[in-house]
Amino acid sequence: MKNIIQFLPEKVIQQIAAGEVIQRPSSVLRELLENAIDANAKTIDIFIKDSGKTLIQLIDDGIGMSIDDAKMSIQKHATSKIKKTDDLFRIKTKGFRGEALSSIALISQLEIQTKKREDVVGIHLFVEEGKVKKQIPINMLQGTRISVKNIFYKIPVRRQFLKSSRIEFQHIIYEFHKIVLAHRNITYRFYHNDKIIFYFKKTSLRERIQEIFKNEKKNLVPILIKKNRIFVEGFVSVPDVSMKKGDQFLLVNQRCVTHLLLHKKIIHAYDGFLKNFKTTSYFIFIFIDSSLVNWNIHPTKKEVKLEEEETIGIMIQQEIKNVLFSQYKVKNKELKNYDIFLSCKSLKKDYLLNNLYKKLYDKEKIVQLENFYHKLNESVTFKNNFQLTNELHYLVSHHEKKREIKTFQINRKYIIFVLNDEYMVLVDQHRAHQNILFEFFDRKKNLISQQFLFPIKVKLLKKESLSLKNIKTDLISFGFHLYICKKYVYLYSVPEQIQQNMLIEVIQNIITYNFIKGKKNNKKKLLQIISKSASIKYGTKLYPEKMKCIIKDLFSCQNPNYTYSGDPIFFVLNKNFF
């Protein structure tokens, strides 16, 4: 009986191996660009035709190759990058396996023109099926010109499974962008079908991102980490709910990689900040000692193994959280528009309510109500007496579910609600919420806190540190868990009633007030600061459900009439007001 298992022919083996490295035209461009960078090129010209199916040509002014080196370069595992086994664990070049040109030569018609500076003439090689078919001496400047023609021309099945020209060109552009992001000290000119598409000069990372992505990446903030043998720099996006999809680039020692663990750490730094992690953009460069990196785990070197990758991921995640929080602190007004500190559930809820609001109330009615605001000082009569308050409290708390409270907002400052077509009450939203919080913190004990994944670090002046120590016990009783150490306070959790987009203002107002040790008024003053700082501000748009919650909570307070400072909270409009 004839044996079934046989050795594959050498030609088939070579084509299988070549297919692991060269999967599509973009793979060719990546390998050629990496070789040019390893050759210390300062200028690189790229010519593409028919999305790389017909021609991929790269011209560089690198060190070039001698005649013998050029012939050796197309041989399997022929490389100048490593000499011995130990070199595999200290890779500092883009290439090292000696597979690129060998694989390209097997699946295309390859031409190599190259010359070293000290050589009199260069060499022009014509290569097919991995073998030199013709060679001629040429006169040229130092550098290398490589032309890859008719990719997969001898493997029609592989060529047939290439995608459309548009998709293949997108892959080419993506590989090109990864290289120009990482190596910004090189001048690049990129031509497609004889038209120049890109022209990049030497520039900074921020400018390069701006060049590639135009006006899409305005909301970027820098990150920087220096620790032992690890250096991390780059930019991350400030959450922007208008973005549909972000751009995510992770580079290790200037090579763009896919690293699932690090990617998860990065995007989960936005937990509670964003509804959809796909809108996150990041451009993060990790520079690490080459002995801590293993590149030899993927045929195309797209994946990498790092020592202490969990630690590196946590460092990056914490730095992103700190940067986002600091950015909010600096650009409070700008970031309010993004509602970045709302939870995912809140974002979904607000989105639905916003649509509901638009359906229920037409523009003419809103304009009409806003016009009332200008008449309020003259026309409002109010009767904030005990009997009326009790009556409103009863009506609000016992209102039939089928007959919902009708609410409107005027000038993003007042809430108007109508009960039983009898009372029209105008409520100051800031004062109402301030009063609700004041009584809540004053009456509640053992408050539930919301914990942070990483503590929030705030720098203190000497007098601020002393003031904070004087009220530390009271803060803990209100649900603030903190640790004061020299010039810093580390905040681990805050009461869940405080929205995170209000947190900076709350902390700043607490630490800037001079609390005196042993003073009896400390707790009351602290309550006032917290309730005022954490309350809903004028100018905040409220949706119907939120307005109804405020109304119900207000009339459940012991004193819904006035704030602690004596300012009236609500007014009852005269029936003849209209």
Q: To which H or E segment does residue 371 belong?
A: helix 363-372
Q: What is the CATH number of the domain that holds 479?
A: 3.30.1370.100
Show which of 328, 348, 365 is a domain's final residue.
328
In the numeric block, the tokens 């040429």 are attached to 138
How far is it, in rounded angstroms, from Cα 385 to Cα 263? 60
Task: State whether 309 and 284 are in the same domain.
Answer: yes
Q: Is 470 inside any structural domain? A: yes
Q: What are phi and psi of 311, to 5 degrees?
A: -65, -45
Chain-centroid distance, C-alpha 37? 29
Query: Would you say 490 and 451 are in contact if contact means Cβ atoms under 8 Å apart?
Result: no
Q: What is the pLDDT of residue 494?
A: 82
Q: What is the pLDDT of residue 299?
A: 58
Task: State whether 410 and 285 are in the same domain.
Answer: no
Task: State whether 268 and 152 are in the same domain.
Answer: no
Task: State whether 152 and 264 are in the same domain.
Answer: no
Task: State whether 427 and 492 are in the same domain.
Answer: yes
Q: Environment class of residue 401 by beta-carbon count within 10 Å: exposed (0-12), middle (13-18) or buried (19+)?
A: exposed
Beta-strand relationship, 282-288 and 230-237: antiparallel
Structure tokens, 567: 């300012």
Structure tokens, 170: 């997108």
Task: State whether 172 and 219 are in the same domain.
Answer: no
Q: What is the pLDDT of residue 88?
A: 47
Structure tokens, 137: 């001496």
Q: What is the pLDDT of residue 301?
A: 62
Task: State whether 422 and 571 are in the same domain.
Answer: yes
pLDDT in tens, 514-542: 888 778 788 888 888 888 888 888 888 88
Q: What is the CATH number of the domain that holds 311?
A: 3.30.230.10
Task: State whether 447 and 407 are in the same domain.
Answer: yes
Query: Would you say 107 and 79 are in contact if contact means Cβ atoms under 8 Å apart?
Result: no
Q: Is 370 inside any structural domain? A: no
Distances (CA, A) of 193 to 26, 33, 49, 53, 151: 16, 19, 5, 12, 16
Closest to 74 in 3D by CA, of 30, 46, 111, 123 = 111
Q: Is 441 inside any structural domain? A: yes
Q: What are phi and psi of 268, to 5 degrees?
A: -80, -5
Residue 266 is part of which domain span?
A: 205-328
Q: What is the pLDDT of residue 477?
A: 81
193 contact partners, CB below 8 Å, separation of at least 6: 48, 49, 50
DSSP tag of 241: T
Rg of the chain over Cα atoms, rounded to whole angstroms, equals 34
Show which of 143, 175, 200 is a domain's final residue.
200
In the numeric block, the tokens 């012939």 are attached to 71
Q: Is 405 inside any structural domain? A: yes
Q: What are phi and psi of 432, to 5 degrees?
A: -65, -50
Q: Is 337 inside any structural domain? A: no
Q: What is the CATH number of the domain that holds 81?
A: 3.30.565.10
Q: What are phi and psi of 489, to 5 degrees?
A: -120, 130
Show which of 200, 218, 239 is a domain's final residue.
200
Q: 303 pairs with which residues across the strands?
A: 258
Q: What is the pLDDT of residue 563?
A: 84
CA atoms within 13 A on the CB side of 498: 27
Task: State whether 418 and 562 are in the same domain.
Answer: yes
- Whole-prediction pTM: 0.54
Q: 146 pairs with which residues across the strands?
A: 58, 112
SS3 of 564, please? coil
Residue type, 386: F
Q: What is the pLDDT of residue 551?
A: 85
Task: Specify the number of domains making up the chain.
Answer: 3
Q: What are phi and psi of 316, to 5 degrees?
A: -65, -45
How far is it, in rounded angstroms, from Cα 567 to Cα 265? 48
Q: Above pLDDT 70, what percent of the chain?
A: 72
Task: State whether 109 and 216 are in the same domain.
Answer: no
| Core vs surface per residue 519-529: b (16+ CB within 10 A) or e | eeebbeebbbb
Q: Is 343 inside any structural domain? A: no
Q: To which H or E segment does residue 18 belong?
A: helix 10-21
Q: At what angle do helices 429-443 and 544-554 cross, to 10 degrees?
A: 50
Q: 457 pairs with which residues across the strands?
A: 490
CA atoms within 13 A on the CB side of 343: 7
Distances (CA, A) of 411 to 103, 323, 406, 498, 541: 68, 34, 17, 24, 9
The 248-252 sheet, strands edge to edge: 220-227, 230-237, 282-288, 248-252, 255-256
All residue ranges of the chain with pLDDT < 70 are 1-21, 77-98, 215-218, 240-242, 272-275, 295-302, 325-404, 419-423, 444-448, 453, 573-578
Q: Is 164 inside any structural domain? A: yes
Q: Is 501 inside any structural domain? A: yes
Structure tokens, 406: 């009708």
Task: State whether 428 and 547 are in the same domain.
Answer: yes
Task: State whether 248 and 312 are in the same domain.
Answer: yes
